[in-house]
Structure 1
Amino acid sequence: MKFENSNYSKELEYKKVEFSFGTIFKTKQFILSEFNEGTHVDYHIASELISKFSDYITKDAKLGYIANRYNSYSFDPQLWKEFNSDYDIFIASAIVTYSDFSYLNASLEKQFFEKSLKRCSNLEEAIEWIMNLKEFKTEANQN
């Protein structure tokens, strides 16, 4: 299911940014990616995303990341290590997988991501998990 077809798109405020390689949604608590079929997410794409979202990538920013993989695409897992060493903004990540192959790829990426990475079978599970992270619960209680 695409994010815009979910109930969450009606409940949450978000910013939608479209690229030639896919669409990114930014909410208060997470960034969600929906890449196009056949895309290879590499350093070039990561650089374009970092450039576009540089206002959100600050030293004290804390977000979740959701990869909604309803399309088949590849991801250079080494990007996790490089991104995390340069920009430590992701508290945790969720990957929504729709096939056994996608699940296996997510399992490989899990080896490169130094924080919590959950493999989910649907978008609702991923969003609920991210939104219920203790880091966001603590933040909500302080406001």
Structure 2
Amino acid sequence: MKFEDSKYSEEIPYVKKEFPFGNLYITKQFILSELNEGVHVDHHIASELVSLYLKNLPSGRKVGYIANRLNSYSFDPQLWVEFNDEYDFLVACAIVSYSNFSYLSASLEKQFFSKSLKRCRSLEEAIEWMLNLKEFKKEFSQN
């Protein structure tokens, strides 16, 4: 299910950013990607996404990341290692898989990501998990 077709798009305020390789949805607690069929996420695309994150996040804000993998695309898992070393604004990641192959790919990526990475079978599962992370409960109860 696409984010814009879900109940969450009506319940959670967001900003949509469109790219040639897919769409991003930026909320207060998480960033969600829906990338196009056949895209290969390499260092160039990852840098573009990180740049967007940093421009749209208040300084010091921590967020989660949800990859809503509606389409088949490839991802260089080594990017997680680089990301772990260079950035600290991500609290956790959820990958929504709609096929067994995508789920297996997410399992491989989990080995490269140093923070919590949950593999999910639905967008609802990913968003509910993200919204209920203790890091967000603390942060948003103080605001």
TM-score, scaled to structure 1: 0.95
User: What CA deviation, in whole Å up to 9, does each residue of 1:82-107 have, x standing for no partner?
Assistant: 11211111100000000000000000
Q: Hey, what's the Cα distance between the residues in 1 that align with 2:134 and 2:116? A: 12
- List gaps (5 residues or longer) in structure 2: none
Matched, 1:7 2:7: yes
Over 4 Å off, 4+ runs: none
2:103 counterpart residue number: 103
Once the two structures are TM-superposed, the CA of residue 58 in structure 1 deviates from its matched residue by 6.6
1:88 counterpart residue number: 88
2:4 partner amino acid: E
Percent of paired sites with the same residue: 68
Once the two structures are TM-superposed, the CA of residue 59 in structure 1 deviates from its matched residue by 6.1
Residues 85 and 58 of structure 1: CA distance in aligned 2, closer, same or farther (over 3 Å): farther
1:117 counterpart residue number: 117
1:131 counterpart residue number: 131
Q: Hey, what's the Cα distance between the residues in 1 that align with 2:104 and 2:110? A: 10
Q: Hey, what's the Cα distance between the residues in 1 that align with 2:96 and 2:102? A: 9
1:72 counterpart residue number: 72
Once the two structures are TM-superposed, the CA of residue 54 in structure 1 deviates from its matched residue by 2.5
CA RMSD of aligned residues (A): 1.2
2:16 counterpart residue number: 16
TM-score, scaled to structure 2: 0.95
2:51 partner amino acid: S
